[in-house]
Amino acid sequence: MGCVEDLGYEVLLSMASFKECREYVEKHFKEVYYVDPGFKIFEKRIIGVPPIALGIDGDTVILPYTKPCHGTYLLRVVSSDDVVMVRKSGRDKP
Amino acid sequence: MVEERNETLIILGCPEVPVQQALALHAADRLNDAGRDVLIAGNSAVLVLLKVSDPKKVYVKKMVELDRCIDELASGALTPSTCIVFAHNDAGISYATTIRYLFEGRLIVVVFGREAEDLAEQLEIPCEMIVEKAVHNPGKLRKKLDEVL
């Protein structure tokens, strides 16, 4: 596992709200897990309003990434290890 | 290293709204005079603005990068007694909510900017909230902030 900035990522949504990111994940991905703010993944703490939805799609994790000046991005990051970690640590329901 | 608990942590959002920096420096001054340790967190843009505004560190004595601040709050390395969070956009509400999850002490959220009232409605956490549609004029917010400091 490494920092998301080093692993590379695909941007699914940009400059979105936390609510838009949650709705996108719930609508577009069959496998969804929920975590609380501060959940650590890719060496970063997830910033957001609970419940924070993370998607799993194959060997990728879909997660929100918040920047103070640019709102929240929804990113897709390839990492089999973190897919396993999210399945183990996340909740099935909000 | 565990910080002592006489510390107020001020967490700043994007510096695009002018009142934020004025109020942060004002709050730091008040808290310094009250004998409290003050730590200010922000992204690199915020921290550079503060460094240029206060080169002799009269008001801002300690600063920390925002991601590191969040990580240290989560790990327990940073344990302030009070947090003041400035929020003027959706990201600010996300940060304030995250701070509430990571910090059990006194939390004051200053919601400001043109969308202050709408944003305040999204803040569903236990905290003391100050709301004002201030952008350029910090007067009303300063008065409200003084009442809680």
Under CATH, to which class is B7-148 assigned? Answer: alpha beta
**Is the predicted ipTM greater than 0.90, yes or no?**
yes
Q: Closest Cα partner for A37 from B41, B104, B99, B9?
A: B99
Mean per-residue pLDDT of chain A = 93
Contact A52, A32 (CB under 8 A): no
Beta bridge partners, B110, equal: B86, B130
In chain B, which residues have their Cβ closer than 8 Å to the Cβ of A68?
Answer: 13-14, 42-43, 46, 66, 91-92, 95
* Helices B44-53 and B19-33, packing angle to 10 deg: 60
Strand partners, A66: A72
Residue type, B20: Q
Domain boundaries, chain B: 7-148
A15-19, A23-27, B58-62, B135-139 — which is least confidently predicted?
A15-19
Residues B70, A72: C-beta atoms closer than 8 Å:
no
Could you report the per-residue pLDDT of A10-56, keeping only the tens digit for each? Answer: 999 999 999 999 999 999 999 999 999 999 999 999 999 999 999 99
Contacts of B71 in chain A (CB under 8 A): 40, 45
Give percent helix, percent strand, percent coil of chain B, each to the nearest 5. 45, 20, 35
Q: Is the peptide bond before A51 cis (omega within 30 degrees of 0)?
A: yes
Q: What is the pLDDT of residues B3-12, one digit of tens each?
A: 456 899 999 9
User: What residue of A is the nearest CA neighbor of B73?
Assistant: A38
Give the pLDDT score at B3.
46
- How many Å apart are CA B76 and CA A87, to the nearest integer? 25
In chain A, the percentage of residues whose pLDDT exceeds 70 is: 94
Q: Rounded to a whole number, what is the distance in Å from the CA of A56 to chain B's nearest CA?
A: 22
The pTM (predicted TM-score) of the whole model is 0.94
With CB atoms and an 8 Å threshold, state whether A68 touches B43: yes
Which residue of A47, A69, A70 is in closest CB contact with B98? A47
Q: Is the pLDDT of residue B1 over 90?
A: no
